[in-house]
Chains A and B, each alone.
Chain A
Amino acid sequence: MVRYIGQKVLIALATVFVLATATFFLMKLIPGDPFANDKVSVAVQEKQREYYGLDRPVAVQYVTYMKNLLHGDLGYSMKKTGRTVVDIIREAFPVSAKLGLFSLLISEAVGILFGILCAQFRGKWPDYLLMVVAILGIALPSMVLGPIVRYLLGVKLQILPVSGWGSFKQMLMPAFVLGLGTIAGNTRSMRASMLATTTQDYVKTAQAKGLPPVKVVLRHQLRNSLVPIIPNLGGQIAGVLMGSFVVESMFLIGGLGRYFVDSITNLDYPLIMGLTIFYGAFLVTMNLLVDILYGLIDPRIRMK
């Protein structure tokens, strides 16, 4: 197990390194200049470039950046004057993370539960009903679903606030909009996976022991059915993260998504780099956790 984790960690570190390098050079290819401004004299612009080290060769800039990165220093934002990138992440990420985690938690639990129910009632009305919900969830993007839900629950019924961030009530709608796709995906794959394990021989063994159906499902089928679902988690985390760009702006939530979009339009080099590396490292870490979780659930993977 230790070797298994060790390998995965090494691969994760390499991934982040490649990501940082590729982003750095690609970012330099974007046409434009962060300090180009008609109202400021050329001499001042030169001064600014010099101050941020942009006058030096790209290779030198790269080495300097990577050195600082090793110390956890992501530099200062070029546009939000006086604020470090780390500062910005520290302020905005908890909001995004809270929304993402809450949404993920709901959608994993609900999706898996729906999947089990579908499989147990295969071909009966609960199965059909939940599958309709699942197909809707996959088909509706959040920019369509969001306004509909806000109109119905926020304006018509007035049970939930239309926007804002802070209270539990304010979290519900964005989390649902963000997570419906995951719920739908999980329902479908969990249903298929449960149906596949139903005909497994060890399920018959469990039945032959005289176990009631609930125990057969929970003790014998569930864990085996989760094995093929786990790898989806990495992608789902990514989906929730990326999806939160849209949902955050729709519900006026001050998360990282907003900063990310701004940093690119402003060519705020350190902020682009910092946020990309941060998101990348976050994703890689999540995938790493998923790999480890995978090993824990299926002992056969652990041993390889």
Chain B
Amino acid sequence: MENRKLLEVKDLVVHFDTFQGAVQAVRGVSWYLKEKETVAIVGESGCGKTVSIQTVIGLNPRKNGSVRGGEVLFEGKDLLALTQKEMREYQGNQLSIIFQDPFTFLNPTMTVGEQIMEPYLLHSRASRQEARARALEILRLISLPNPEETMKRYPHQLSGGMRQRVMVAMALICDPKILFADEPTTALDVTIQAQIMELMNGLKEKLNTSIVLITHDMGVVANMAERIYVMYAGKIVEHGDAETVFHHPKHPYTWGLLGSVPRLDERIQSELYSIPGTPPDLIAPPKGCAFAARCRYAKQICRKCEPPRIGFEEPEHYAYCWLNHPECIRRNGVTVREEE
């Protein structure tokens, strides 16, 4: 059954003006999210993941970070056409976000309860008592131990996992349609990571919220996402449902990301794979494929022309890589990776 698209980002371009020139953080990105779906945007630091979702929810500083093109359609309405004031109606209400670091994203001088209640008081015109009741309800839902006590605490009195739960509660209190999670587990211990992921998965079922997950951790993706967008240097390089991207990845960058996940069945001595090099300078992005400089399969054409979008058997599975071009496959017989 095909759900309708709840959020659709079309050809989003975001540049940041700096003294050195415009940093082309997001260079024409398109993706969508269906109702009750979890989509992951995957890529390493600095590839434009965070910038693109902060643009979607209207959090980019307007002064030197500017949207140069594209549309963000939420329930058919272009969010980029709204004024800041109109956008605030959506922020924290229908579109909410969980940030990466629960240590710095909570206000140290305000009780946790106050911070959780804040968006509800703002968006629902509820009384303080109602907001308190609602906050307690949410805290129970995310099974935080003795919520009444916790509401009175300050962030520094809570553990990392507790704080991230508080962030989750804060994001969910207004029953958002979309929950953006920007590396929600990166700052946490591995065991706590698992708890938070489990929590988010469970809440999605209970609350009918769609989730956009941003991460560089393929392990996290495997646990949560239904579809995956792989992003590199401000562009989507591969997309497909989670199963397909994990088992039949078509872009060398995706191979690299998957190769960097430690495996339990590997020999102990084997070194953990990491993608060599660093992402390109986005003030002057390279001609051709942005990944070519770090790609061991790069050919001449990769450095000269941008790869086209090439689709595969599974619906909506596509990648931007010359290796998948019919001409390349004809010459090599098969795609490179399957050869190995």
Interface set of A (CB-CB < 8 Å, partner B): 200-202, 204-212, 215, 219-220, 223-224, 227, 297-300, 303
| B108 close to A300 (CB less than 8 A) | yes
| A208 close to B96 (CB less than 8 A) | yes
Q: Measured between alpha carbons, how far is A30 from B93 in the docked complex, in Å?
A: 73
Please provide the 8 A-B residue pairs with the shortest distance between their CB atoms, ordered closest to farther.
Answer: A210-B91, A209-B92, A201-B104, A210-B92, A210-B88, A209-B119, A202-B107, A201-B105
Asked if B122 is an interface residue, CB under 8 A from chain A, the answer is yes
List A contacts of B198 (CB < 8 A).
Answer: none
Q: Measured between alpha carbons, how far is A211 from B110 in the docked complex, in Å?
A: 15
Asked if B170 is an interface residue, CB under 8 A from chain A, the answer is yes
Quick one: which of A209, A297, A303 contacts B118, CB cutoff 8 A?
Answer: A209
Q: Helix, strand, loop or mixed for chain B's interface?
A: mixed
- Given known contacts A201-B99, A299-B156, A210 and B107 CB-to-CB distance under 8 angstroms: no
Quick one: which of B89, B101, B156, B157 contacts A210, CB cutoff 8 A?
Answer: B89
| A201 close to B101 (CB less than 8 A) | yes
Quick one: which of B122, B156, B167 contacts A211, CB cutoff 8 A?
Answer: B122
CB distance from B301 to the nearest CB of A (A): 42
Q: Measured between alpha carbons, how far is A204 from B115 in the docked complex, in Å?
A: 13
Which of A207, A215, A224 has the largest count of B CB atoms less than 10 A from its CB? A207
List A contacts of B154 (CB < 8 A).
Answer: 299-300
What bracket does the count of chain B residues touching chain A fall in? Answer: 20 to 34
CB distance from A234 to the nearest CB of B (A): 21
List B contacts of A298 (CB < 8 A).
Answer: 108-109
List A contacts of B97 (CB < 8 A).
Answer: 208
**Given A208-B99, A297-B109, 6 other A-B residues pairs in contact with their CB atoms under 8 A:** A209-B119, A210-B93, A210-B119, A210-B123, A211-B88, A298-B108
Q: Measured between alpha carbons, how far is A208 from B110 in the docked complex, in Å?
A: 17
List B contacts of A303 (CB < 8 A).
Answer: 156-157
Interface set of B (CB-CB < 8 Å, partner A): 57, 59, 85, 87-93, 96-97, 99, 101, 104-110, 115, 118-119, 122-123, 154, 156-157, 167, 170
Closest chain B residue, CB of each to CB of A209: B92
Could you list some 21 contacts between A and B, CB below 8 A? A202-B108, A204-B59, A204-B105, A205-B99, A205-B105, A205-B106, A205-B107, A205-B115, A205-B170, A208-B91, A208-B92, A208-B96, A208-B97, A209-B91, A210-B88, A210-B92, A210-B122, A219-B118, A299-B156, A300-B154, A300-B156
Closest chain B residue, CB of each to CB of A212: B88
| A200 close to B59 (CB less than 8 A) | no
Q: Measured between alpha carbons, how far is A157 from B109 in the docked complex, in Å?
A: 47
Q: Measured between alpha carbons, how far is A201 from B85 in the docked complex, in Å?
A: 21
List A contacts of B92 (CB < 8 A).
Answer: 208-211
List B contacts of A227 (CB < 8 A).
Answer: 109
Q: Measured between alpha carbons, how far is A193 from B157 in the docked complex, in Å?
A: 24
Q: Measured between alpha carbons, how far is A201 from B101 in the docked complex, in Å?
A: 9
CB distance from B84 to the nearest CB of A (A): 9
Q: Measured between alpha carbons, how far is A227 from B90 in the docked complex, in Å?
A: 32
CB distance from A17 to the nearest CB of B (A): 35
